[in-house]
């Protein structure tokens, strides 16, 4: 009978549904269909077992002796061994047959379960919505392991920039031009002048605008506070108003901030399509 805590365990026809199918709804389970007489099985088995222990619970390894469990082998279409199948949510999501070298097994496992770094990155991205300090700490944890991890550099830079931390720009500039995250990092850097003006007191900034609607400084301050809260629509509305009435203010700072927000959100975003048209109308209409 399979134990609930061991990373490697034997399963049979009686406990497969519970130990593999049910368990895979919470943790990926890799099933190794093997037999004692199979030479390639004896080569692959120790690799899988070692990697399962290294995974520290990110995925589990279930061993099925096909000689003792022929109906399981037939049920899952095993025609040659070793046959390795990964289960998530009770279904096979990846598989291979034959004894692969360790490098290829590691690559295959990336389809099955996230690495520790990937788990930390997912956690940090989730934390950003509710606890920026925790997110920053998790991103830093990734960077301790992988100092050049562009996803972590972007995440940490974004969090710090929205908090008004002066370290943000230096972190974002570490992202190399060839990285997929580079364009977003550049957009955030272009937003730095706006975000650095945020005071955190949106109500006071809004009151200042209401008191003097034509004051570009007041609108810039309100846009900064709204952008810090990631209220991009509110920030774009304030910046557009500055463009409409004070185009040359601060060397075209409001238009440049709008373009930076467009780059950050991406051209397919509904706000970008809407405000790009309105910006064009303000400039050329």
- What positions carry a catalytic annotation? 38, 41
Measured at the alpha carbon of residue 170, what is the angle toward residues 168 and 173, in degrees to the nearest 5?
105
Q: Which residues contact 186 (CB under 8 A, 6 or more apart)?
A: 263
Question: CA-to-CA distance for 285 and 280, rounded, in angstroms?
Answer: 7
From residue 74, give the alpha-carbon distance in Å to each of 33, 78, 160: 11, 6, 55
Residue 39 φ then ψ, to 5°: -60, -50
For 277-284, the CB contacts below 8 A with 24+ separation are 278/240, 279/240, 279/243, 279/255, 282/240, 282/243, 282/244, 283/243, 283/247, 283/255
Pick the closest to residue 215 from 253, 241, 235 (CA basis): 241
How far is C-alpha 58 from the chain's CA centre? 17
Residue written as token pair 């406990």: 15
Pick the closest to residue 95 from 32, 188, 161 (CA basis): 32
Residue written as token pair 């997912």: 122
Pick the closest to residue 194 from 259, 274, 246, 144 (CA basis): 259
Q: How many CA atoms lie within 13 A of 68 on its CB side?
A: 13
């Amino acid at each position: 009978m399979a134990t609930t805590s061991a990373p490697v365990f034997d399963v049979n026809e009686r406990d497969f549904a519970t130990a593999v199918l049910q368990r895979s709804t919470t943790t990926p389970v890799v099933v190794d269909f093997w037999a004692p007489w199979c030479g390639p099985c004896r080569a692959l088995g120790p690799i899988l077992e070692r990697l399962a222990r290294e995974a520290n619970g990110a995925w589990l390894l279930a061993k099925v002796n096909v000689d003792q469990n022929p109906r399981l082998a037939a049920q899952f279409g095993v025609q040659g061994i070793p046959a390795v199948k990964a289960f998530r949510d009770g279904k096979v999501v990846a598989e291979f047959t034959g004894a692969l070298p360790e490098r290829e097994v590691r690559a295959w496992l990336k389809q099955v379960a996230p690495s520790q770094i990937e788990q930390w990155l997912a956690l940090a991205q989730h934390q950003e919505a509710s606890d920026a300090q925790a997110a920053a700490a998790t991103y830093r944890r990734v960077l301790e392991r992988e100092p050049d991890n562009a996803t972590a550099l972007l995440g940490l830079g974004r969090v710090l920039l929205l908090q008004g931390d002066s370290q943000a720009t230096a972190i974002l500039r570490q992202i190399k031009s060839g990285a997929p995250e580079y364009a977003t990092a550049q957009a955030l850097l272009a937003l730095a002048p706006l975000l650095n003006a945020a005071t955190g007191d949106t109500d006071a900034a809004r009151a200042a605008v209401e008191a003097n609607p034509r004051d570009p400084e007041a609108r810039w301050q309100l846009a900064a506070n709204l952008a810090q809260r990631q209220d991009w629509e509110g920030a774009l509305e304030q910046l557009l108003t500055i463009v409409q009435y004070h185009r040359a203010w601060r060397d075209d700072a409001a238009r440049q901030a709008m373009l930076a927000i467009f780059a950050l959100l991406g051209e397919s975003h509904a706000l970008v399509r809407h405000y790009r048209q309105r910006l064009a109308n303000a400039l050329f209409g």
